[in-house]
Amino acid sequence: MTTADSRRRVAIAAVLTAAFMMAEVAGGLISGSLALLADAAHMLTDAASLTLAWVGYKLAERPADPSRSYGFGRMKVLAAFTNGIALIALSCWIVWEAIHRLLDPTPVLGEIMIWIAAGGLIVNILAAWVLHGGDKHDLNLQGALWHVIGDLLGSVAAIAAAIVILTTGWTPADPILSVLVAFLVLFAGIQIARKSGHILLEGAPDGLRSDDIRQDLIDHVPNIAGVTHIHAWALTESKPLITLEVTAIAGACAETLRRDVKARLAERFDVSHATVEVVSEPS
């Protein structure tokens, strides 16, 4: 999947989300449903977050310049981190509002609520379907997808709450189901923020532990006396980087060893961008 494909998918989802948001706001205010208002608030943040994700893709396409030798590739990671934090904040707001509704119940019009929620469910299914077909390893796209999934679950919760209210008249079902959705959204937000934050903090990507890299090179590349100063990080979730220093045994060709180390890193660890310094073993 290309960045252009992911950007297009995010743009479609943003338009679908924004188009239905106002209907949910009106329906929530008229019916008095917290589940609908929570879902509308979620759709509002989603429209903004999807737009942010789209901007992240556009900026990431800008070429490198003298001030930014890696270009703007990390902009989509930064957008993913921002979306993760937004999911966490949104879930906390939903829980806070639900507590107030439980302490001070208000009437809820189940008939209006169920029709608006059903419309929202259809829109969210379409948006989720568009995003789900994208790159599964793209944190920016996955952050956008989880915003939409949170909306989808919110619509399901609103429909369930409306059915309970229409059949039993028990209005606490509305805030209680909203809280269940909030916890699912919270979990997704934490996961997205943790993974993107790890990249922004120059954390080592999965499968690139320095001890494993050192031992693998010593075992599989000839003429190596030692491997030191190993640093592994990622520019984006799909572009790992490595720098290291290799000590060559006496008499070994430094250039040949450098090529062999880079080839092994690409073959074993799928790292295509490696900076390898070769020094000679003291005689």
CATH number for the domain harbouring residue 247: 3.30.70.1350
CA angle 97, 101, 103 (to 5 degrees): 115
Q: What is the pLDDT along the chain (283 residues), one digit of tens a residue?
A: 456 777 788 888 888 887 777 777 777 777 776 666 666 666 676 777 778 778 777 777 777 778 878 778 788 788 888 878 888 888 888 888 888 888 887 777 777 778 877 887 888 888 888 888 666 667 777 777 877 887 788 778 888 888 888 888 888 888 888 888 788 778 878 888 898 899 999 999 988 999 999 999 999 999 999 999 999 999 887 789 999 999 999 889 999 999 999 999 999 999 988 999 999 877 6
Q: What pLDDT was estimated at residue 197? A: 92
What are 109's two structure tokens?
């019009």
Residue finishing a domain among 155, 178, 200: 200
Q: Are residues 140 and 196 in the same domain?
A: yes
42's tokens: 């979620």
Residue 45 and residue 180 in one domain:
yes
Please give the structure tokens belonging to residue 12.
């479609």
My answer on whether 38 and 143 are in the same domain is yes
For residue 232, the enclosing domain spans 210-280
Q: Do 149 and 20 form a contact (C-beta atoms < 8 A)?
A: no
The pTM for the full model equals 0.75
Residue 205 lies in a domain: no
Q: 111 by DSSP, 3-state: which?
A: helix
What single string gives the DSSP state of each residue in 63-90? PPBTTBTTTTTTHHHHHHHHHHHHHHHH
CA 82 to chain centre: 9
> Is the domain of 246 the same as that of 180?
no
